[in-house]
Amino acid sequence: MTDTLQLVHEFTRAHKTTITRDNGATEYVEVLPLLDQLQEAMTANRGTGGSGSLAKAPVSLNAVDLWQDITRTTAHALTAVPVHAQPATTLGQGIQQWAAWAVNTRNADDEAELNAYLVYWSGQIRAMFEPSVDLEAACPDCGEGFTWSHDGVEYVRRRALSYNQHRATCVVCGQVWEGAGAMMSLARAIHGDTPVEQCA
């Protein structure tokens, strides 16, 4: 399980990360909190549709839906948190209060639930900015190969597994394989004992 407090930090505060440039060089950079990145996905580069008086549409309805999901889930979770002298005024503060309570309760399920949400949400936010490739294989955890999703017009069938340079994800069960080692394990699970180089 990814460290919950690290996830909260990445979600609500600017943080350092390593990026790999196209030429192979690695660089240590500071990035915006994931919640700020999500807000940018909702509002950046919006056009007016020709008239400045028209309402601007969000760049990504997926980003808006995710923001609403995070807001609803956090508000619901905070109903279980004892009243604080200083109520949360931002979504980030709400997540921090939820985390402070969840990691300090005597029930490990509270932290595990928060952790699962943060892993899922951070994966969804990162996927908005990182191109991914569908894998033509069933998920080794849930066994599903496809899922149906609504694209705003109709339901479309899409692959359950996808990957980018950092992680692979199953959109059906939410399993994430983070980093090269985990992605190699996924490749072995998909292809059995066949060496990965022979599977291309």
**Reported confidence tier of residue 46, pLDDT bands at 50, 70, 90:** very low
104: number of Cβ within 10 Å: 9
Residues composing the chain: 200
CA dihedral 95, 45, 159, 7 (to 10 degrees): -20
181 pLDDT higher than 90 = no
Q: Where are the beta strands (DSSP E) in the chain?
A: 15-20, 26-31, 133-134, 146-150, 155-159, 161-163, 167-170, 176-178
193 pLDDT higher than 80 = no
92 pLDDT higher than 60 = yes
Compute the average pLDDT of residues 148-174. Answer: 83
**Reported confidence tier of residue 45, pLDDT bands at 50, 70, 90:** very low
Query: DSSP string of 46-73?
Result: ---TT-TTSPPPPS-HHHHHHHHHHHHH
Looking at the chain, the whole-number percentage of residues with pLDDT higher than 70 is: 84
50 pLDDT higher than 50 = no
117 pLDDT higher than 90 = yes
**Reported confidence tier of residue 7, pLDDT bands at 50, 70, 90:** very high
Compute the average pLDDT of residues 90-114. Answer: 92
Structure pTM?
0.64
Q: Which residue has the higher pLDDT, 182 or 46?
A: 182
